[in-house]
Structure 1
Amino acid sequence: MDIFSKIKEKLSNEFIDIVEWLDYTDDTIAHRFERYQNEIKNGAKLIVREGQTAVFVNEGQLADVFGPGTYELTTKNLPILATLKGWKYGFNSPFKAEVYFVNTHLFTDEKWGTKNPITLSDDRFGLVEIRAFGTYAFKIVDPGKFIVDIVGTDNNFTNFEINEHLKSLIATRFTDTVGEANLPIELYAANTSELSETCREVMAPEFESVGIGLEKFYIENVSMPEDLKKEIFEYSRLDKLDMQKLAQFKAAKAMEAAAKNEGGTAGAGMGMGMGFVLAQQMGSMMGGTQLGGQQPVPQAGAAVPPPMPVAVQYYYAVNGTQQGPVSFDQLKALFANRTINKESLVWKQGMANWAPLQEVEELKSFLGGNTPPPLPNG
């Protein structure tokens, strides 16, 4: 073989005749095919595997894009590149062009989160702060736009490089979306699915503007300060409580606390009152027995007082549920605060059946407008 044949063989070996990319990573989005002086042999074979797209760029301009398959690189298969280079009648010599392989598979389990708390206005709790985090999945849907707008001249572009940009975009749009949602603060954690889908719809157009498809978006958690959590829990319990029973319970606890406060005048008075009641109950239980076990002997001619009247106890109905017993004054207070009305059913010992309050003689005074009978003629 003469010297010219050796030179020709050496030069031909420097021209690329197979253009392909074997991806051994799981984070590379775009890879620039490297070859000697960017020259590709006329008629070279282009191999694009499933989950890949090949993008040809000529002097910074987007040329041809190839999906999965095997191609012979000719002017027929490179119409845009041929136009850019002015190939009118075909080409027989090696040509220069940059080739980028783009991964089009789904990139999953990408993390996002709010770096700083988001301040929201709530009708009941005022200004509140929340944080949120979750995951998202994306893939390249327009490889040409992605290469031109994002990758540029980077020879090996990974998802780490794009994630910082995407996370900033997500945090901004998430803040706007939750602010416009105007949900009660306690409902954010209970509506993450609906909120996630709304956020995805809002963010998708901005992703697509650079050739990226936002396929999935998940909010995993919405957190808030501990003191706000406690306040929300207490508020939710109030909605479930019977406020009348709660007021009665708190009043009973207050009376108990006052009775234990022996150092205060109110406590002493309460203690004395409870002592009198206890003494009366003890006397009743002992049947009037004096200390020492001897029965008291009434003095001759001494007036004997009649027995103490027994306080009447009333039962009343609220929403079909029996309540009570309560005293006359307590029943009057219930009527005054509109817990019951003139149509409410009441019952006391001695009544054959339940009757509306307005039909019970001694309770008619609640209704007002009572007038005394006319004076007898003199």
Structure 2
Amino acid sequence: MSIFDEIKKKLSHEFIDIVEWLDTTNDTIVHRFERYQNEIKNNAQLIVREGQTAVFINEGQLADVFKPGTYTLNTQNLPILTTLKGWKYGFDSPFKAEVYFVNTRLFTDEKWGTKNPFMLSDDRFGLVEIRAFGTYSFRINDPGKFIVDVVGTDGNFTNYEINEHLKSLIVTRFTDTVGEANLPIELYAANTSELSETCQEVMQPEFNRVGIELEKFYIENVSMPEELKKEIFEYSRLDKLDMGKLAQFKAAKAMELAAKNEGGTAGAGMGMGMGFVLAQQMGGLMGQPGTQPFGGQPAQQPQGPPPMPTQVTYFYAVNGHQLGPVAFDKLKELFASRTINRDSLIWKQGMASWTALKEVEELKSFLGGNTPPPLPTA
């Protein structure tokens, strides 16, 4: 072997390329391996580390894809590129190709959120506005598709560039999924885990179309206006509490606030008036059948017969003297014994003046054939 052959052999070994990429960032997804005029020498060493994939692009067309490992670049290891180049008998000169290293590790803790509130229709509360935010994680599961459909000729593609697209996709699919779920509005915050899983299933096909796998999707919070929160809270309480008991409780609280009113004489008078009204309402509620006092058993209705009716009594006059009062039966006995007669003056409560017995309606029964004839004259 001549000295020129030895120098040629030595130079060929010294100038064999090593194609590799050491990632010093935390956000790079795709890095293009830069060479002068994109020339790679024959038998160059390709080193693909764990969490990487190397993709060869020839004149804008996807060629070979390499998983983690070390490769010698020749016609045996570049079957598609060899076919595209038309190398039938091998090659010795440098060849042109673009090499893209794709970071296939898991990108975690990526943020998403609704920029503006979106509308939902609820059967009880009507149209409501809600917001949502959370996190997601993804990885590139089809590097070739991802480069062709998303990256293009970008030499340094970061997750910031793809995140804007992914966030828009997430928000769109999230609002569609939530709208079709048709859950009561108060259940969204309580069922974030189930809702997250459903949204992930819906979104996964959209991610796959560009070579991305949605590894995890989390809904951390579903928020709504404070007024709606209070309304939902009150509704849930009303759904659980006894209505009569709640009304009594609110009446008592209002009376307590009225009693504490220190706004002057007018305020005190208004507070007393409200207190009386609320007391009457509260008394009415407590008196209704089936209502319960505060935390107690149903109010017991009084037992026993109604009170006896008040007996009517009469006053009568004999020889210019007022006598009585006596009951109806006693007055009848006095008439039968001729202590009084039909012309005797009688008075009872409710009568305007003394009236002859024969003129009192309920006493006319005394006259029915029971009046003796007048005494014979001597």
Q: TM-score, normalised by structure 2?
A: 0.67
Counterpart of 2:118, as a letter, is I
Considering only CA atoms, is the larger Rg found in Structure 1 or Structure 2?
A: 2
Kindly report the root-mean-square deviation, in angstroms, between the aligned alpha carbons of the 2 structures: 3.7
- Which residue number corresponds to residue 323 of structure 1? 297
Is 1:64 equivalent to 2:64 in the alignment? yes
Q: Distance in 2 between matches of 1:47 and 1:257?
A: 79
Offset, 1:245: 2.2
Corresponding residue of 1:137: 137
- Give the conservation status (yes or no) of the 8 Å contact 2:19–2:47: yes
Post-superposition offset of 1:68: 0.5
> CA 1:253–1:39 in 2, change beyond 3 Å: closer, same or farther?
closer
User: How many angstroms does 1:244 deviate by?
Assistant: 2.4
Matches within 5 A, 1:260-271: none
Q: 1:332-376 CA distances to partner (integer Å, 9 max, x unpaired)?
A: xxxxxxxxxxxxxxxx5x8xxxxxxxxxx99xxxxxxxxxxxxxx
Shift of the 187–155 alpha-carbon distance from structure 1 to 2, 3 Å rule, reads: same
Q: Mark the CA change 1:51 to 1:257 in structure 2 (over 3 Å): closer, same or farther.
A: closer
Give matches, 1:216-365, under 5 Å. 216-249=216-249, 323-327=297-301, 348=303
Counterpart of 2:246 in structure 1: which amino acid?
Answer: L
Deviates more, 1:34-43 or 1:13-22: 13-22
Contact 1:112–1:135 at 8 Å: present in 2 too?
Answer: yes
Distance 1:163 1:254 in 2: 54
- For 2:357, the equivalent position in structure 1 comes to none
Match of 2:48 in 1: 48
Distance in 1 between the 2:172 and 2:21 partners? Answer: 36
Amino acid at match of 2:56: F
Residue 125 of structure 1: how far off its partner (Å): 0.4
Residue pair 1:29, 1:103 contacting (<8 A) in 2 also:
yes
User: In the aligned structure 1, how far is the partner of 2:299 from the partner of 2:211?
Assistant: 74
**Change in CA separation of 1:78 and 1:24 when aligned onto 2, cut-off 3 Å:** same
Amino acid in structure 2 at the alignment position of 1:323: Q
1:197 matched to 2:159: no
The residue aligned with 1:334 is: none
Asked if 1 retains the 8 angstrom alpha-carbon contact of 2:112 and 2:135, the reply is: yes
Distance 1:257 1:31 in 2: 70
TM-score scaled by structure 1?
A: 0.67
Instruction: Report the CA distance between 1:91 and its aligned residue.
Output: 1.3
CA 1:315–1:56: 2 relative to 1, 3 Å: closer
SS of the aligned residue for 2:45 comes to strand
| Deviation of 1:324 (Å) | 3.2
| Structure 1 segments unaligned to the other structure (5+ residues) | 275-312, 329-347, 351-360, 363-378
Structure 1 residues 25 and 263: CA distance shift in structure 2, 3 A: closer
Question: What are the within-5 Å matches in structure 2 for residues 156-175 of structure 1?
Answer: 156-175=156-175
CA displacement at 1:11 relative to structure 2:
8.9
Letter in 1 for 2:162: I
CA shift, 1:88, in A, is 1.3
CA distance in 1, matches of 2:213, 2:268: 74
- 1:185 paired with 2:185, answer yes
- What SS does the aligned partner of 2:299 have? strand
Asked if 2 retains the 8 angstrom alpha-carbon contact of 1:52 and 1:102, the reply is yes
Q: Secondary structure at the match of 2:43?
A: strand
The alpha-carbon distance between structure 1 residues 256 and 101, as it changes in their structure 2 partners (threshold 3 A), is: closer
Between the aligned partners of 2:130 and 2:299, the Cα distance in structure 1 is 48
Cα gap change, 1:129/1:19 in structure 2, threshold over 3 Å: closer, same or farther?
A: same
Instruction: Classify 1:131/1:245 alpha carbon distance in 2 versus 1 (closer, same or farther; 3 Å).
Output: same
The number of equivalent residue pairs is 288
Indicate how the Cα distance of structure 1 residues 14 and 171 shifts in structure 2: closer, same or farther if over 3 A, else same.
farther
Does the residue aligned with 2:193 lie in a helix, a strand or coil? Answer: helix
Question: Using the alignment, how far apart are the partners of 1:48 and 1:78 within structure 2?
Answer: 15
- Structure 2 equivalent of residue 110 of structure 1: 110
For residue 101 of structure 2, give the secondary structure of its aligned residue in structure 1: strand
Query: Aligned partners of 1:127 and 1:314: how far apart in 2?
Result: 38
Moved over 3 A (4+): 7-16, 247-264, 313-318
Residues in 2 aligned to 1:68 and 1:86: alpha-carbon distance in whole angstroms? 27
Q: Is the 8 A contact 2:16 2:43 kept in 1?
A: no
Q: Counterpart of 2:86?
A: 86
Q: CA deviation at 1:255?
A: 8.6
What CA deviation, in whole Å up to 9, does each residue of 1:243-264 have, x standing for no partner? 1223445567789999999969
1:305-336 Cα offsets, whole Å, 9 max, x none, are xxxxxxxx999899xx98333446xxxxxxxx
1:159 aligned partner, one-letter code: N
Contact 2:54–2:102 under 8 Å retained in 1: yes
Give deviations 1:20-76, integer Å, cap 9, x for gaps. 111111111010001111111111111111110000000000000000001111111
Q: Distance in 1 between matches of 2:205 and 2:105?
A: 19
Say whether the 8 Å CA contact 2:245–2:291 is kept in structure 1: no
State the alpha-carbon separation in 1 of the partners of residues 38 and 288 from structure 2: 101
